[in-house]
């Protein structure tokens, strides 16, 4: 078993369809369109409703406003597309509590493997590329259950609810498995993601948190 090539992608339409282009992305099922993520230069961003699909990355960036009371899902989800110089909206991300087309949606983010693995692939979140701390306030300040980043696996089925809760992501103790077992063949793994902020949240610093794919091969 050799190391598989892995490609991260996102669907930038409101059409819930498979990534039929695999590693190349492009036109997918049901009118979807899949864009390859540059893991070095692109960024995932949760932003306010004022942000518009296609806004230039050199223009105004509108952060999410912390709610006056209770909890609130971030309005919109974008990928900072460095090569195109724009904020590309991930319209199907999140739930119906957001301000886009999220909900009981399945084909939102994809991770394509061109080969097999010896363990289940997991999606995790860490403070930075050191992958050894989760003290950021965005990840719960050391308490994974309080992480603002929530994700759900959609590889084999839709979430089952338009207001899915998801699993808080922080370290290996709070993560999601992207399939039911090790991969016997190359395939696409799918997930959806959102951010939940509470009225008590205090953003003490900018975040350089990273989403991490963990798997083994032999």
Q: How far apart are alpha carbons 36 and 26 in whole angstroms?
A: 8
* pLDDT-above-70 percentage for the chain: 98
Residue 73 lies in a domain: yes
Give the pLDDT score at 29.
99
Is 142 within a domain?
Answer: no
99 inside domain: yes
Q: Which domain holds residue 87?
A: 6-119+151-169+176-198
Give the count of domains, the chain.
Answer: 1
Residue 216 lies in a domain: no
Sign of the dihedral through C-alpha 54, 208, 47, 105: positive
What does the pLDDT read at residue 114?
98
- Using the predicted structure, report yes or no on whether residue 1 has a pLDDT greater than 80: no
Give the pLDDT band of residue 40 (cuts 50, 70, 90): very high
Flag whether 209 is in a domain. Answer: no
Residue 124 in any domain: the answer is: no
Does residue 184 form part of some domain? yes
Q: Is residue 113 part of a domain?
A: yes
Query: How far, in Å, CA of 22 to CA of 111, rounded?
Result: 9
Contacts of 52 (CB under 8 A, 6+ apart): 87
The answer on pLDDT for 77 being more than 70 is yes
> If you average pLDDT over every residue of the chain, what do you get?
97
For the stretch 160-216, pLDDT in tens is: 999 999 999 999 999 999 999 999 999 999 999 999 999 999 876 667 899 999 999
Overall pTM > 0.95: yes
Residues 6+ apart with CB under 8 A from 110: 8, 9, 10, 11, 19, 34, 188, 189, 190
> How much is the pLDDT for 207?
76
């Amino acid at each position: 078993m050799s190391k598989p090539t892995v490609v991260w992608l996102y669907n930038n339409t409101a059409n819930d369809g498979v990534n039929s282009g695999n590693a190349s992305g492009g036109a997918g099922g049901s009118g979807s369109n899949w864009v390859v993520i540059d893991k070095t230069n692109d960024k995932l961003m949760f932003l306010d409703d004022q942000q518009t699909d296609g806004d230039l990355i050199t223009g105004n960036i509108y952060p999410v406003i912390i709610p006056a009371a209770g909890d609130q899902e971030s309005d919109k989800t974008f990928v900072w597309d460095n090569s195109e110089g724009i904020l590309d909206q991930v319209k199907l991300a999140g739930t119906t509590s957001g301000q886009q087309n999220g909900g009981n949606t399945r084909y939102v983010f994809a991770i394509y493997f061109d080969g097999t693995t010896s363990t289940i692939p997991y999606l995790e979140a860490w403070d930075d590329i050191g992958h050894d701390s989760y003290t950021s306030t965005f990840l719960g300040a050391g308490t994974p259950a309080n992480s603002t980043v929530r994700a759900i696996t959609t590889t084999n089925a839709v979430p089952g609810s338009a207001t899915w809760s998801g699993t808080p992501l922080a370290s290996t103790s709070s993560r999601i498995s992207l399939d039911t077992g090790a991969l016997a063949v190359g395939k696409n793994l799918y997930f959806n993601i959102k951010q939940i902020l509470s009225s008590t949240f205090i953003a003490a610093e900018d975040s350089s948190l990273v989403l991490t794919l963990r798997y083994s091969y032999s």
